[in-house]
Amino acid sequence: MVSGRTDIAELELTELEDAVSELGVERFHARQIYRWVYRRGLERFDGMTDLSVALRRQLEAALMLTTPQIAARDQSSDGTEKFLFRLADQRTIESVFIPDTPAQTFCVSTQVGCAMGCGFCLTGQMGLVRNLTAGEIAGQVRVLARELELQDRRFNVVLMGMGEPLHNYGATMKALRMLATPSGLALTPRRVTLSTIGMVPALKRLAREPWLPNLAVSLHATTDAARHELIQTSRKQRLADLVAACRSFPLKHRDRITFEYVLLDGVNDTEADAHRLVTLLRGLRAKVNLIPLNEAPGIPFSRPPDLHVDRFARILASGKVIVSVRKSRGRDIRAACGQLIVEGGPRQSPGQQAAQMVNG
């Protein structure tokens, strides 16, 4: 709440119904407002023409709507677009639109920076500046849908931008509920993928959610020692515990957990690594998404030769693991996996931030 006005960007539909009811307004008007905000992309009440002029003025006086603003927009030669969003406190985040994947896909952020400390990711080098609010997470989607004229078309959302979604658990899940609201964008769980390094307590909590997105777990190594070197905050958990949590994760018929594996030349791309990965995932309803490193200044690793990538994939396939090799999109505008970074402000180290779980 700012200056006595409630920010409806942060409200689920039931909360908005309560807010308008407190103003003496019929609760059904909340659904109308939700449609204008999410399906039409409006940012002001005065354009909501199915509300009376008097009601619009009343709402404007009591409520507000904070929306991330586009500060820059870059397009790659492959059609991928990167959006720089400026938030109300002047912090900035990046989101990516990936067309024809085959669905249209929005890659959105959940934090300004990231506390996980992955050595091959530019976002991780920022440290964590702050968590995004639910309204800032959902706001990226509603602005992208409006700007790309996709509000009445199907699109997918992947929580694979800046930040670790499960480190900002409460805001992330609230944002997904807001986006799933039938009066809004009506996103279904099958159209949403949450990507995480696999914070085990939060993963177990996620497994109990009634609204369950697709799960993608960033593995990146096949031994504890190697993973602890690559991901600073993984040092307090074992791969065996992470895989066990994945084995108990509820999956619908024919669904699989995606395991993301960034291939680093001479680090985790050996034949032995591939065979260990087959063993780790044996009996799991899983598929592996191999991601040859997207190189960038500041990342102290190299992309493996295509021959190594092909060899790794063949070993997985021969071990009856479903495997794909991700085609990098937007590399020429630094929009590919691991390349999102903005100028941050005061921040805490990965170790400081990962010491506490944000429940929101």
Closest CA to 350 of 197, 119, 127, 121: 127
Q: Is 26 part of the annotated catalytic residue set?
A: no
Q: Among 94, 136, 164, 260, which one carries the catalytic annotation?
A: 94
Residue 60 contacts by C-beta under 8 Å, 6 or more apart in sequence? 44, 45, 46
Report how far apart, in Å, the C-alpha atoms of 135 and of each of 80, 88, 230, 260, 352 are. Answer: 24, 11, 32, 28, 25
Closest CA to 89 of 116, 61, 69: 69
Residue with tokens 């693991």: 321
Judged by phi (left if over 0) then psi (alpha if -120 to 50, else beta), residue 320 lies in left
Residue 61 contacts by C-beta under 8 Å, 6 or more apart in sequence? 5
Q: Is 271 part of the annotated catalytic residue set?
A: no
Q: Among 107, 118, 121, 337, which one carries the catalytic annotation?
A: 337
Closest CA to 165 of 223, 237, 214: 214
Torsion of CA 41, 44, 48, 54, to 10 degrees: 170
- In single-letter form, the type of residue at position 226 comes to A
Judged by DSSP in three states, 24 sits in coil
302 and 267 Cβ atoms separated by less than 8 Å: no
List the catalytic residues: 94, 337
